[in-house]
Amino acid sequence: MFKKSSISLVVATLLLSTTASAAKTYSASDKAIKLTQDTILIDTHIDVPFRLNKKWEDVSQATASGDFDYPRAKQGGLNAPFMSIYIPASLDKSAESTALADKLIDYVEAIVGRAPDKFAIAKSADDVEKQFKQGLISLPMGMENGSPIQGSMDNLKHFYERGIRYITLAHSMSNHIADSSYDLRRQWKGLSPFGKELIVEMNKLGIMVDISHVSDDAFYQAVAISKVPVIASHSSLRAFTPGFERNMDDDMIKALGKNGGVVQINFGSTFVSKVARSWSDTLSNKRKEIEEKEGKDSDLAKSFEKKYTDKNPMPFATVDTVLDHIDHVVKLIGIDHVGIGSDYDGVGDSLPEGLKDVSTYPNLVQGLLDRGYSDKDITKILSGNLLRVWRANEAYAAKH
């Protein structure tokens, strides 16, 4: 039997241990920092444009909010972030969808216009390499949700000319192109007839097909139609989040490997951690119960999330959780098919400990080094794999 004082000591020790674990600090070695600085680092999904649409900030300077700005990007070695031209699913089938896409591209051009000594628009893999040598941060662009295409190949060409180099076919709802993994209505049972034609035209233009967010059927159809490798611009793995269709299962990953594509791992805790996913599902279910009982506009519904999270903080993932996803892809299909699609500025406060903003990529690189990845392998993860897929798309387009 423990005496009361002994029990108190044990409890205190456990609490101290738990607190220390929760507050774990990450320290990247000089080698990890040098690798991120000396290597092209491509992150295929950063939601800066939509963030600026909500509230304009000059990201060429340090900002008090958000996950991205120039000083933090330089600190983290990020030199080629794909700016996400994110269009909410609620705007599908409206002219506002296309107008918003153009507006968000205007914001990216404004970032460059304000600081041409810091940023440059990148429309090709060669642009990224050239701008890296010049010490500039490249800003390629990807469209998250194909809604702005509005069934028009002329619109597709318009957005290509404006710099869009990948299109996420759908987002949180089924649209005129594809079914969404989040939408129980599977109106197309995969891709729509137009969606199938769109992939052919995207191949011809050199716009990468992004299968993040789409249903499983849409994924397999897209891979079957595309003549070039596809990407998952910001997805993680279902093996770690059972039942979460937004992530990719092992069979899909293998199909992606045969296609030559690459999965860019999303950092969001609810994407990489089963515990965080369960926490999020519980939060959503409880919120829904209150909204159904009290109404969405009720004071109780509006204050629910803050009260809930104050009492039940999110169980954040860690750098190791993200690394587990990278390891899993490598074991399944090899080192040539995995990269980074963090979803910074797109997943709110759910980012893992040690990966809270764009200054923290060296922590991920340190983890890769600790797990035995070679410098060559790390370079592939940071940019080599995505550049290979991008160049394959460019080469096909040049012939067609």
- Written as tens digits, the pLDDT of the chain (400 aa) is 333 333 333 333 333 333 333 457 889 999 999 999 999 999 999 999 999 999 999 999 999 999 999 999 999 999 999 999 999 999 999 999 999 999 999 999 999 999 999 999 999 999 999 999 999 999 999 999 999 999 999 999 999 999 999 999 999 999 999 999 999 999 999 999 999 999 999 999 999 999 999 999 999 999 999 999 999 999 999 999 999 999 999 999 999 999 999 999 999 999 999 999 999 999 999 999 999 999 988 989 889 989 999 999 999 999 999 999 999 999 999 999 999 999 999 999 999 999 999 999 999 999 999 999 999 999 999 999 999 999 999 999 999 9
Q: What structural domains does the chain harbor?
A: 27-273+316-399 (3.20.20.140)
pTM of the predicted protein model: 0.92
Q: Hey, what amino acid is at 17?
A: S
* Residue 30 to residues 224, 315, 370, Cα–Cα distance (Å): 44, 30, 13
- Contact between 114 and 175 under an 8 Å Cβ cutoff? The reply is no
DSSP 336: G
- Contact between 385 and 263 under an 8 Å Cβ cutoff? The reply is no
Query: Using CA atoms, how far apart are residues 373 and 335, in angstroms rounded to an integer?
Result: 10
Query: Using CA atoms, how far apart are residues 105 and 155, in angstroms rounded to an integer?
Result: 14
- Contact between 40 and 79 under an 8 Å Cβ cutoff? The reply is yes
- Contact between 76 and 354 under an 8 Å Cβ cutoff? The reply is no
- The tokens describing 91, both together, are 């705007």
- Within 115-147, residue ranges assigned H as helices are 125-133
